[in-house]
Structure 1
Amino acid sequence: MSNDVPHPYSIEVEPLTKPEGHFGWTLRRSGKLIERSDRVYGSEEKAREAALAAAERDTKPMPGMGRR
């Protein structure tokens, strides 16, 4: 998995207020919200890795769904 966010995606990793010391992420495509983490991550790096995986999943068409 690459560390670069594929164009036109953007990833925001932010600290959570509860539970303190944990992180969450938001994935956007051309500024539009695509997905938000529903789990908490113990480090900023782990949250970013999960967001990158979500971006990669979103770039691959699902079988039978056609092209986006």
Structure 2
Amino acid sequence: MSTDASYPYSLEIKPCEKPEGHFTWVIRERGKLLQRSDKPHASEALARRRGEAEIERLLGPGIGGR
């Protein structure tokens, strides 16, 4: 997620070593680690959705459309 709408945050999706086939997300603020998922997600798409939802929460009600 590298859009201006999420600035200054970026989202990385990474595969897990254990359990194999699962994914986690990492949120960075201006390149520095801010937050990461506390559990593995069953698919890359699910990890991305959860990470994007967390970025929307961080951006606040005015940006996320709430």
TM-score (norm 1): 0.77
* SS at 2:6 equivalent: coil
* SS at 2:55 equivalent: helix
Q: Which 4+ stretches in 1 moved above 2 angstroms? A: none
Answer yes or no: is 1:18 the counterpart of 2:18. Answer: yes
Cα deviation, residue 33, structure 1: 1.3
Distance 1:46 1:19 in 2: 15
Partner of 1:65: none
* SS at 2:51 equivalent: helix
* SS at 2:38 equivalent: coil
Q: How does 1:1-68 map to 2 (within 5 A)?
A: 6-60=6-60
Higher Cα Rg, which structure: 1
Identity of aligned residues (%): 47
Q: Which runs of 5+ in 2 are unaligned?
A: 62-66
Cα deviation, residue 29, structure 1: 1.1
**Residue by residue, what CA displacement relative to the aligned partner does 1:2-57 show, whole Å, maximum 9, x if unpaired?**
xx561121111011000000000100111121110001111000000000011111
Distance 2:44 2:15 in 1: 8
Matched pairs, number: 58
Cα deviation, residue 59, structure 1: 1.2
Q: Which runs of 5+ in 1 are unaligned?
A: 62-68
RMSD of equivalent CA atoms:
1.6
